[in-house]
Structure formats: C-alpha cells, structure tokens
Amino acid sequence: MDAFTNKPFAGNPAGVCILSEHRDDSWMQNVAREMNLSETAFLNKSEDGFDLRWFTPSLEVDLCGHATLASAHILWENGIINQNEQARFHTRSGLLTAERKDEWIELDFPALPDKQVTVPKTLSKILGAKPRYVGKSRMDYIVEVDSEKTVRKMTPNASQLAELPFRGLIVTAPAASKPYDFVSRFFAPRVGIYEDPVTGSAHCCLGPYWQKRLGKNEFLAQQVSARGGILRVRVWGKRVKISGEAVTVLRAELRE
C-alpha cells in the first residue's frame, strides 16, 4: 500500500503481511528485508482486534504511522472488518485505533512532545543548515530551520547522522504557502532508512511542537520528500489524531 496519498506511487509505501499463524521474529525480519521498504507490518488476529508489529529492513520499531494506516486500509478493503468498524491494534506502543472518516483514515496515537536540548556541535555541519531550535522526544530529535526552502534542499550526511543517538531526525519549518501549516522531512539512517517518504509517528512530535508555536490544535501538514505526502494532524490532550488516505498497489502471496 501507498499511505498518506490518494494516488499510486506517491506517499509512503508499506508492506502489510496478514498472517494465518504466528511467525518468529527472525522470519518477520527476513520478510521485511526481502520487501526492502521502510516498514513492513505483520498482523495477527487477537481476541480484541489485531496484534501489530513493524519491521524495517534492519530491525523492529516501536511505532509506525504509515504502516498502521496501510494495515487499517487493507482490513477494510478486504472485508476483514466492517467498513464502519474501528480497527484496533495491540502494539509495543499500546493500543492504537483507526477509524474511517469518509475517504480518510484517522489514527489515534500517543503524543510525543519534545524538550529543548543543547545543539550537538556537529549537527549544523551534518545538516548543512543552522538550526533555529533543537529538541528531543522519546524517539527522535526535532530541528526547526528558517524556511520551507531549507527543508526541501537539505541533504544530511547519512553516515554521520547514523552515529547520533536517536531513532531519527525530524526537520521542520513553517509552510511557505497555504493551505499547509508546516512542512517536514524525516531521516533515519540509524534504523536503515536514509529518508522516510511520509512519517506518521514523527507527527506525534510535530503536532505538539506546532501547537505551542501556532496556538491551535489542528493542522494540514505536508512532508516534502521526493514522493511527498499529506497529513491532517489534530492534537487531543495526550493523544494525536493523524489522518491520511491510502491506495493498494500490489497484492501477492508469500512462498517459502
């Protein structure tokens, strides 16, 4: 599936593997490596929804937005759950839910607010840009730069970025034009992804971040990677509602 887009070959591709039986971790990691996507999701039916796990080509991760969106999309599209039924996922990050909102899918994720930190001495050189602000959430660093243009043209040094102690780096700035409120990109070479095309989990940090700066709770966000993606973001207390669309581009059956 391509997530956070309404057309094929845009947004963020994710593999979704619906399992008929439990598989061990090494098998799932091998499948994710074979798919070679930023994340492959694995679904097992449980008593109250589905057990959901996410693997990059290198390792298992604690939270992934676009593969959760893709998982909900395929459950509804294939009639595994009813169109008006909430999708419920039991994950490393607790219970996550998804609901259909017309053509959009709304995810209910935990907020991951950041705290300001001292700028690492090497960061400006790695980014090729001077940060206005640097913060750290439970999972990632977030860097605000001066403009959308700076975000778009950035080409961080992957090997040096991978040496820094965090899952990934969120780079953001106010959007240059309406209807968007802010733009971002997400780099995660430490977990085997130089740049993730559209990152739902990063918006668990971006939502609270821009809530403080723009003084509102709802945003239209654009991730300005080469593929690009559109997200609706709503901060709701200690939760962040992240909405997007998804399309199926390929169906296959795994053979061992």
Residue range 40-80, pLDDT digits in tens? 999 999 999 999 999 999 999 999 999 999 999 999 999 99
Residue 255 pLDDT level (bands cut at 50, 70, 90)? confident
Q: How far is CA 139 from CA 13, 63, 115, 235, in A?
A: 22, 9, 12, 18
- Choose the catalytic residue: 21, 34, 39, 148: 39
103 is catalytic: no
Judged against a pLDDT cut of 80, whether residue 239 lies above it is answered with yes
Q: Name all domains of the chain by residue range, CATH numbers in brackets.
A: 2-107 (3.10.310.10), 115-242 (3.10.310.10)
Residue 241: its pLDDT value, please? 98
The residue with greater pLDDT, 190 or 116, is 116
Q: Of 128, 123, 140, which is closest to residue 206 (Cα–Cα)?
A: 140
Q: How does pLDDT run across 14-30, given as a tens digit for each residue?
A: 999 999 999 999 999 99
The residue with greater pLDDT, 128 or 208, is 208
**First-to-final CA distance of the chain:** 22
Integer Cα distance of 68 and 80 in angstroms: 15
Residue 57: its pLDDT value, please? 93
Judged against a pLDDT cut of 90, whether residue 238 lies above it is answered with yes
**Across all residues in the chain, what is the average pLDDT?**
95
